[in-house]
Amino acid sequence: MHGPAPRLVGAGFVLTPTAASDIPSLLAACTEAEAVTSLNVPQPYTLSDARAYVAAAERGDGAYFWAIRTADGAPLVGMVKLSFKALPSGGRPEASAGGSAGAAGVSGVASAHDRGGPHDTPADTDTSASANHANPTTSTVPTVPTVPTVPTNPTTPNPPGTAPDIGGIYLLPAYRGRGIATRAARLVAQWAFDAGFDALQWECLASNTASIAVAERIGFTFYGSGISSSQYAHHQNKVARWARMARGELR
């Protein structure tokens, strides 16, 4: 267990741990029409599913679960997750200052109950070059797991269970198109690099052009594709794409 996610501050939004007060917003998000087909979460999504998400967030159950908010104490308008579940260790090995923590995986959505596989969301489509490269602010100095390094020229994605996963971005419809998804993805990626990760991965369904655009906008390079490994019927047998970004490539 990692404990609750650290607080990160971006330009025009803040990432704070998901809380019980967010359950109604989570339920609304995961039952929104576009999310039903694109989010890698159970469908039909129920109140019990939303409660399970929050319980996992409070425990830091193998992941950091963030709510995207316009300000501290404001309602949830989206989600993002950094998952360490795939690590063989039950703990959280420390990364030495300036040392290597291997490779983290980044995927294109915040999956409320992700247990591997591609994660797709209606992502932000803002193309503004002025998106802020805000440095994350945390309430504590976190430690991060050590994971296998991603090959320099990978031809296949990391096999399930060999690398952690960042569930990327989901935004409620009213908050799309403002650049929030891009800035939030960049903020989490910057935090991961600052924490010691050498590389990040991104996975999304090939049909999710918005997710692909966000990934490429912040520096990811797509290198391969294959069948989704999602356990949920609405994602199974669909084509996923994989991308990688090394330290120093973040834009």
Question: Quick one: pLDDT at residue 247?
Answer: 84
Q: What are the boundaries of each domain within the chain?
A: 8-246
* Sign of the C-alpha dihedral computed for residues 134, 125, 163 and 83 taken in this order: positive
Angular region, 235: left φ>0, alpha ψ -120 to 50, beta rest: alpha
- Per the CB < 8 A criterion, the answer to whether 173 and 34 are in contact is yes
Question: Quick one: pLDDT at residue 123?
Answer: 52
| Residue 65 tokens, joined | 């679960």
- In CATH, the number for domain 8-246 is 3.40.630.30
Closest CA to 68 of 121, 142, 143, 145: 121
Question: Mind listing the pLDDT tens digit of every residue in the chain (251 residues)?
Answer: 568 889 999 999 999 999 999 999 999 999 988 777 777 788 889 999 999 999 988 888 778 889 999 999 999 999 988 777 543 333 332 222 223 344 454 443 333 343 333 344 455 544 333 333 333 344 333 444 333 333 333 333 444 434 456 666 789 999 999 999 999 989 998 888 888 777 778 888 888 888 889 889 999 989 899 987 677 777 778 888 888 888 899 99
Question: Quick one: pLDDT at residue 124?
Answer: 54
Question: Quick one: pLDDT at residue 195?
Answer: 81
Give the C-alpha separation, 103 to 191, whole Å. 13
Return the axis-axis angle of helices 47-59 and 23-30, rounded to nearest 10°.
120
Burial of 156 by CB count in 10 Å (0-12 exposed, 13-18 middle, 19+ buried)? Answer: exposed
Any residues with CB less than 8 A from the CB of 67 and at least 6 apart, and which?
Answer: 15, 16, 17, 18, 19, 22, 76, 78, 79
